[in-house]
Amino acid sequence: MGSTTIALIELGIVFLGLGLLGRLAARVGMSPVPLYLLGGLAFGTGGLIGFEGIAEFGHVASEIGVVLLLLMLGLEYSAAELVTGLGQAWRAGLLDLALNFTPGALLALMLGWGPVGAMVLGGVTFISSSGIAAKVLTDLGRLGNRETPAVLSILVLEDLAMAGYLPLLTTVLAGASFLGGLQAVGVALLVVTVVLVLALRHGHRISAWIHSPEQETFLLRLIGAALLVAGFASAMQVSAAVGAFLLGIAISGTTAENAVRVLAPLRDVFAAMFFVVFGLNTDPATIPPVLGWALLLAVATTATKMATGSWAARRAGIGRWGAAARRHCADRPRRVLHRDCRPGGRVGCHRRRTGSAGDRLRHVDGRCRPGHFALRRTHSPQNFQGAGARPLNGPARQRHRQGIFSISRCHSA
Please check whether residue 289 lies inside any domain of the structure.
Answer: yes
Same domain, 108 and 220: yes
Same domain, 196 and 325: no
pLDDT confidence of residue 236: 76
pLDDT of residue 112 exceeding 70, the answer is yes
Please check whether residue 31 lies inside any domain of the structure.
Answer: no
Strand-pair partners of 367: 346
Same domain, 260 and 381: no
pLDDT confidence of residue 228: 92
CA dihedral 309, 314, 316, 319 (to 10 degrees): 110
The one-letter amino acid code at 165 reads: Y
Q: State how far the alpha carbon of 95 is from the alpha carbons of 91, 114, 155, 168, in Å.
A: 6, 24, 13, 21
Task: Go through the chain and tell me how many residues it has.
Answer: 413
Domain count, the chain: 2
Please check whether residue 330 lies inside any domain of the structure.
Answer: yes
Please check whether residue 189 lies inside any domain of the structure.
Answer: yes
The CATH number of the domain where 120 resides is what?
1.20.1530.20
Please check whether residue 304 lies inside any domain of the structure.
Answer: yes
What CA–CA distance (Å, rounded) separates 8 from 5? 5
Same domain, 203 and 338: no
What CA–CA distance (Å, rounded) separates 16 from 91? 44
Question: Average pLDDT of 312-328?
Answer: 58
SS3 364: strand
CB atoms within 10 A of CB 166: 19
- Domain end residue (candidates: 266, 284, 315): 315
Please check whether residue 4 lies inside any domain of the structure.
Answer: no
- Domain end residue (candidates: 315, 337, 353): 315
Q: Which residue has the higher pLDDT, 412 or 292?
A: 292
pLDDT band per the 50, 70, 90 thresholds, residue 46: low
pLDDT confidence of residue 339: 43
Please check whether residue 8 lies inside any domain of the structure.
Answer: no
Q: Which residue has the higher pLDDT, 283 or 264?
A: 264
Same domain, 335 and 271: no
Q: What's the mean pLDDT when you consider all of the chain?
A: 72
Same domain, 328 and 402: yes
Same domain, 342 and 229: no
pLDDT of residue 53 exceeding 80, the answer is no
In terms of average pLDDT, the best of 109-118, 321-330, 384-393 is 109-118
What CA–CA distance (Å, rounded) separates 6 from 10? 6
Please check whether residue 242 lies inside any domain of the structure.
Answer: yes
> From start to end of 310-383, where are the E strands?
335-339, 346-351, 360-367, 373-377
pLDDT confidence of residue 218: 92
Are 143 and 151 within 8 A, CB to CB? no
pLDDT (tens digit, 9 = 90+) per residue, 6-31?
Answer: 888 888 888 898 899 989 988 888 88
Per-residue b/e over 309-344, b at no fewer than 16 CB within 10 Å?
A: bebbbeebbbeeebbebbebbbeeeebbbbbbbbee
Same domain, 239 and 112: yes
pLDDT (tens digit, 9 = 90+) per residue, 85-103?
Answer: 777 778 888 899 899 999 9
Same domain, 200 and 333: no
Same domain, 382 and 273: no
Same domain, 285 and 341: no
**Any residues with CB less than 8 A from the CB of 325 and at least 6 apart, and which?**
337, 347, 348, 349, 364, 365
Nearest to 78, CA basis, from 191, 188, 206, 190: 206
pLDDT confidence of residue 47: 63
CB atoms within 10 A of CB 173: 11
Same domain, 292 and 379: no
Q: Which residues constitute the domain of residue 207?
A: 64-315
- Domain end residue (candidates: 286, 315, 344): 315
pLDDT band per the 50, 70, 90 thresholds, residue 393: very low
